[in-house]
Amino acid sequence: MGSATRTAIVTGGSRGIGRAVAARLAAAGQNVAVVYASNAKEADATVGEIEAAGARGIALQADVADEQQVADAFDTVERLLGPVDVLVNAAGVMALQPVRELDLTQLDRLVRTNVRGTFVTAKEAARRIRPGGAIIAFSTSVTRLHLPAYGAYAATKGAVEALVPILAKEMGERDVTVNAVAPGPTATELFFEGKSQQVIDRIAGLSALNRLGTPEDIAQVVAFLAGPGRWINGQVVFANGGAA
């Protein structure tokens, strides 16, 4: 098992896009800490993929919206893997309801994870990340596709998009880039949940390439922003196969 020269933290790294990102960063030579909410078995499986790629990996349970838990996670990563160079905040939750039917307890849940969680992790990264590093948040292409029932989810991601260019300017003097990736419909458990095949096919047809994205498609974009893509800064990168 080799020793990478850079260390990344990937929240939401136990499944879906986060898991693909962790594996891709490991393949690019970065040690990766997987932060997960509840699924230890899947997080350990992600660590197995990281190690199979020749990097070092650890799994840590933390609530991304809890400031102390996030600080403790950073402490552990620094102790076991070294100073942090990259934060990828892929942790997120989704609830689909028309605005007129919106369950406000679900809205509170979305805001806590998607907005507060982004701020808490970004705040800790802004204090600790090494020069030459990168902070990568997650938005969604639904902020432009305007699909019915996605109002609450898209609104929380709109907050992420507002934060990114401001934090990029704040981090410029530290030589740390800040961007967001906005996936289109992507073949993950989160996407498939509660959808009929007819609905899935219709949404896949939104892409100019006439298919759903894969977690690996998104991971490639994240790896570029986390590595060589240093002149891209303060941007929201829409990775959606030309969906419109």
> Does residue 45 fall inside a structural domain?
yes
- Split into its structural domains, the chain has a count of 1
> Does residue 190 fall inside a structural domain?
no
> Does residue 136 fall inside a structural domain?
yes
Cα–Cα distance for residue pair 167/103, rounded to 1 Å: 31
Residue 18's H or E segment, with its range, is: helix 16-27
> Does residue 84 fall inside a structural domain?
yes
- Per-residue confidence in pLDDT tens, the chain, 244 aa: 344 589 999 999 999 999 999 999 999 999 999 999 999 999 999 999 999 999 999 999 999 999 999 999 999 999 999 999 999 999 999 999 999 999 999 999 999 999 999 999 999 999 999 999 999 999 999 999 999 999 999 999 999 999 999 999 999 999 999 999 999 999 998 788 888 999 999 999 999 999 999 999 999 999 999 999 999 999 999 999 999 7
> Does residue 152 fall inside a structural domain?
yes
> Does residue 209 fall inside a structural domain?
no
Q: Which residues contact 122 (CB under 8 A, 6 or more apart)?
A: 87, 89, 135, 137, 163, 167, 178
Residues tagged active-site: 153
Please give the sequence-ordered ranges of beta strands (E in DSSP) within the chain, or none if there are none.
6-11, 30-36, 57-61, 86-89, 134-138, 177-183, 236-239
Distances (CA, A) of 39 to 9, 62, 111, 149, 216: 17, 11, 21, 27, 21
Query: Residue 233's domain spans which residues?
Result: 6-185+214-238
> Does residue 203 fall inside a structural domain?
no
> Does residue 222 fall inside a structural domain?
yes
CATH number at residue 96: 3.40.50.720
